[in-house]
Structure 1
Amino acid sequence: MAGLATGAIFLPSFPGFGGTLVDPERLLETVDPALKKRLADAALNAAKSAGASYADVRIGRYLNQSIFTREKQVQNIASGESFGAGVRVLANGTWGFAATNTVTEAGLAKAAQLAVQIAKANSKVQKEQVKLAPVKGHGEVAWKTPIQQNAFEVPIAQKVELLLAANAKALDNGANFVNSALFQINEQKYFASTDGSYIDQDVHRIWPTFDVTAIDRASGKFRTRQALSAPMGMGYEYMNPKADGKIAGPAGTGLIGYKNSYDILEDATLAAKQAKEKITAKSVVPGKYDLVLDPNHLGLTIHESVGHPTELDRVLGYEANYAGTSFATLDWKAKKQPYGSKLVNIVADKLQPGSLGAVGYDDEGVKTKQWDLIKDGVLVDYQKIRDQAAMVGQNESDGCCYADSWDSVQFQRMPNVSLQPGKAKLSVDEMIKNVDKGIYIAGRGSFSIDQQRYNSQFGGTVFYAINKGKIDGMLEDVAYQTNTLEFWNSCAAICDESDYRLFGSFFDGKGQPSQVSAVSHGSSTTRFNGVNVINTARKIG
């Protein structure tokens, strides 16, 4: 996987795919909640005795399994485990944090004492004391991703067989090369705080993916088509295709959209055919086009142009070195300028079933929720955590605090950020009928966006010309250039809820030291009028 800059959707390494390699059977083990409570109490008591006014502890067991194949062979299979605890405290109005992989009462007590020492040392240069939005203690509670089949319980041989079968489908339909992979993650997270919460969570995520390459040996040309799957907050049931989990793409494309299940064999078959078709596809003529964007493509644009600019730490300038700040400052928001057309309603949430961001409680013990970011085209709120709420005159966290490991300090991370579907019944084919000159784009591609999340360029996986209301053949070398406000104000139509699907990423990068988080973005197919399209293959001069 290539590392992409600017708040990268993909990073060279996989979150949770480190730690110690273990026997796959270890992945089914659990830790007794009663033991975790005793360990947590040892840390909390030690922190209070050392002078902390507030403390929380996260005991985390992070499990992963990755399977890689290429053509007819298995390249690698790895199962990993990382286990430890992190303690965060407030002392003298200042944060302190320490972590340990000595998961004993004495080990956690020592980490808590160190965290308090760090906080007191930091307080000498702290200009303003940290103010936390109030959170009521939840007592002893538990939450689990509502999976139907634990992916770690499925025999590795069965999963390998499925990936190799997908490879075979691609090769049988004209691919010259194909590689496929299956990533599975389980976060077993226990949170406790001096507010009186003891929260045990069991979070599951899965991502099947592949790349198919077709070569024309006569010309030397080749093209690649990625999988149109999405990483999901689900179990292995995502790999069992269901008829009601499929949505037909526009007539003339053969594309299938996937909702709550994925048919990797079907997608690999089509991918090989489309990779071959891309070799002889017409190169796009630059100009203004109406764009019809599939959810598996639009999710990336939502992520970069709405998700990141509404993170409050970027808005306030606290997150600047890694991937920049935001044009959507408090002063800009106060002017109530339109972020998009009146059709644009974008919500943040940590609740959507099947989404990567779905949890019961965040890593500060805040119960998760849904809230509006953009309402009728106007920016109405940001994403914020406990120590940010007072900065914008609010007294409640949005429950979007997260750390990617037990040894990472938790901070504000993007929740699911989704464009709400249109209220009037509208199918993709009906939307296309109203487009005179346009392009349909599916799948993610390369992108770039500036440090304030304003000027941007986005590619895709497959492109189809729209001519007088009909699909008119495949295109290549397509990318659109725009700025955030221009783009969202050009939003002219959104398909209804029946077309709504999730895009996702395991790899939203942020912070120094860098952390990654998993996040989904939902939408229905959406039309944007008069967007500037460039030809990425044309040379300048």
Structure 2
Amino acid sequence: MAQNRREFLKVAGAAGAAWSLSDAWLAPVSAQSPKGRTGPWRTWGTDALKQARGLGCTYADIRFGRKRSQALNVRNGQLTSAGGFSFGGFGAVPGGGISDTFGFGVRVVHSGVWGFASSPIVSADEIGRIVQEATAIAKASAMAKRFDVKLAPVPAYDEFYETPHERDPFEVPLEEKLAVLTDATDAIQKNKQILFATAQVSFSQDWKFLVTSEGSFIEQSLYYCSCGTSATARSKGQVKTRIYTPGASTAGYEFLVKADLKGNAERVAAEAVEHSLAAPVQTGLKDLVLKPSHIALTMHEIIAHPTELDRIVGYEANYAGTSFVKLSDLGKLKYGSPLLNIYADRTHVGGCGTVGFDDDGVKSQRWPIIQEGRLVGLQTNRETAHYMGETESRGCTFANHWRNYPFLRMPNIQMEPGKPGSPSIEQMIGDVKDGVLVEGSGSFSIDQQRYNGQFGGNAFWEIKNGKVTRMVTDFTYNAITTDFWANLDAVGPPESWEHHGMDGDAKGQPVQSNYPSHGSSPCLIRKVMVGAAFS
């Protein structure tokens, strides 16, 4: 017998409450954390750094943290334990449960190398033990060191930063959240050709209190939200799915409301049906009109990653590869056409890479990466700035959890819009004789140096003689990084600029999943080799 909504929400609410009870042991400690600069963190942090200094450490920090996450997945109106597509990647527990953890990590430099250890037991005695453990790890690691760690100087700060938000998602009743998702799937299923309709939302809050031997006491409360829907249709034996996702943002519950999942349901369902009836595009050289929702993927893979300085100097070679970019390329490498202007930004309101301070205690900032097609800057932290001859960090150190070691992670990487009066997306389409309009993220494959890649999207339309004619399917295009961006022929005006948060970005060993975020206007790329990717 099918559940009605009232029965469904009642059962779902009970399930969520049952999970929360399993974390009840956290309450005495976590209740002291956010907000108001209260609790023993200053005293414990100061004592830990005194101990580290007494053990001979030349640098130390301690990062207390609380990580709360929740993921809700609804399929055809029913809450599922592991639903369809992932739009968040925030480490949440599927099916409505709330994950709530608390602990701390200690990082030291001894004998010229890093040592790190963490623990979920937050007490003065345990902190003392972990400081000793981190120091012992550094001493042992020093036996194999090739060089000493060099840290760029940083001022001391005593500040609090919180993500701008209108409503704390963890204070919103579960029934209200589920109603938004079930309304969306119900609206999608009004189209009788839809097999499956899903709706998802992920929330996360990352509270942290950083104390450093540079004299900083920095408290931050960071909120994240990600949401989306999908519709799956079958026509003449072909099954295709259309996804709608406004992406992710450092925001509160209001991001889910403003995403208007229900309001986009009819369009998503219709496009899923159209996609299931579509034929592949013909292969060959074509012009591409790329929407910001798709450019976020391409920028991420062949601009953001290659300009991470730790990759360039070989830190990531074993797991995630290096970069075709060399230090000697700064100021010289022609990365793309003069229309290509890229900047890094840790301050953009709503960006997933936006914080008040990085996990080195460096204040957030904005700086250029590519200007008029030429490489002029890179992503750095305190540990890597000296490779560029710079005396200040760009503030790119981040850990996705208190238990994990912080290292270089990308900020928001953004493309500047064209000048006022630049071609609109309609004008770009009107200037294409044979091409494809691409929307959303999809498949991708990149070599280890981020130079040769293949990209797909979520929806594609053929352009013939200046007009959008039909939806096509199984589409990909090839991109040799510098050649691809050299063919950038138009960038949309400021009013067409959009920011898009993306799913988790894996890096490091043990692996950590970060929250990448990119913005741009629509772009026109000429003469790109396209083909069909069959799944």
TM-score by length of 1: 0.89
What's the offset of the Cα at 1:467? 1.6
What's the offset of the Cα at 1:303? 0.4
The amino acid across from 2:151 in the alignment is: L
Deviations 1:356-397 (A, max 9, x none): 011000000000101111111011111111111112211111
Deviations 1:133-160 (A, max 9, x none): 001111x210000111111111110110
Cα 1:25/1:312, change in 2 over 3 Å: closer
Residue equivalent to 2:119: 100
Deviations 1:89-108 (A, max 9, x none): 11122211111111112211
Distance 2:41 2:497 in 1: 39
Distance 1:19 1:129 in 2: 45
Distance 2:436 2:410 in 1: 30
1:33 counterpart SS class: coil
Worse-matched range after superposition: 58-67 or 25-34: 25-34
The amino acid across from 1:47 in the alignment is: A
Cα 1:135/1:459, change in 2 over 3 Å: same
What's the offset of the Cα at 1:53? 1.4
Contact in 2 for aligned 1:166/1:268 (Cα 8 Å): yes
Residue equivalent to 2:231: 212
Distance 1:160 1:309 in 2: 40
Residue equivalent to 1:252: none
Residue equivalent to 1:11: none
> Does structure 1 residue 133 correspond to structure 2 residue 152?
yes
Q: 2:51 aligns with which of 43, 46, 49?
A: 46
1:227 counterpart SS class: strand
Residue equivalent to 2:84: none
What's the offset of the Cα at 1:211? 2.2
Distance 2:21 2:288 in 1: 46
What's the offset of the Cα at 1:28? 9.4
Contact in 2 for aligned 1:416/1:519 (Cα 8 Å): yes
Contact in 2 for aligned 1:21/1:80 (Cα 8 Å): no
5+ residue gaps, structure 1, are: 1-17, 242-261
Residue equivalent to 1:530: 527
Residue equivalent to 1:510: 507
Distance 1:323 1:87 in 2: 25
Residue equivalent to 2:171: 153
Q: 2:100 aligns with which of 65, 68, 81?
A: 81
Residue equivalent to 1:12: none
Q: 1:109 aligns with which of 120, 128, 132?
A: 128
Residue equivalent to 2:387: 391
What's the offset of the Cα at 1:19? 11
What's the offset of the Cα at 1:20? 9.7
Distance 1:36 1:455 in 2: 47
Contact in 2 for aligned 1:289/1:531 (Cα 8 Å): yes
Residue equivalent to 2:183: 165
> Does structure 1 residue 298 correspond to structure 2 residue 295?
yes
Residue equivalent to 1:8: none
What's the offset of the Cα at 1:276? 0.4
Distance 2:181 2:288 in 1: 34
Worse-matched range after superposition: 437-446 or 29-38: 29-38
Distance 1:22 1:446 in 2: 37
Worse-matched range after superposition: 434-443 or 419-428: 419-428
What's the offset of the Cα at 1:81? 0.8
What's the offset of the Cα at 1:333? 3.9
What's the offset of the Cα at 1:266? 2.2
Residue equivalent to 1:437: 434
Contact in 2 for aligned 1:24/1:79 (Cα 8 Å): no
Deviations 1:59-103 (A, max 9, x none): 010001111111021122110111110010111222111111111
Cα 1:537/1:406, change in 2 over 3 Å: closer
Q: 1:412 aligns with which of 408, 416, 421?
A: 408
Residue equivalent to 2:90: none
> Does structure 1 residue 71 correspond to structure 2 residue 76?
yes
Worse-matched range after superposition: 94-103 or 185-194: 94-103
> Does structure 1 residue 459 correspond to structure 2 residue 453?
no
Residue equivalent to 2:352: 356
Residue equivalent to 1:230: 247
The amino acid across from 2:183 in the alignment is: A
1:83 counterpart SS class: strand
Cα 1:156/1:24, change in 2 over 3 Å: farther
Percent sequence identity over aligned pairs: 37
Contact in 2 for aligned 1:38/1:105 (Cα 8 Å): no
What's the offset of the Cα at 1:240? 2.6
Residue equivalent to 1:365: 361
Distance 2:105 2:47 in 1: 13
RMSD between aligned residues? 2.0
Residue equivalent to 2:257: 240
Aligned length in residues: 497
Contact in 1 for aligned 2:321/2:449 (Cα 8 Å): yes
Residue equivalent to 1:246: none
Contact in 2 for aligned 1:20/1:80 (Cα 8 Å): no
Distance 1:288 1:497 in 2: 29
1:451 counterpart SS class: coil
Residue equivalent to 1:22: 23
Q: 2:276 aligns with which of 275, 279, 295?
A: 279
Contact in 2 for aligned 1:465/1:475 (Cα 8 Å): yes
What's the offset of the Cα at 1:170? 0.8
> Does structure 1 residue 310 correspond to structure 2 residue 327?
no
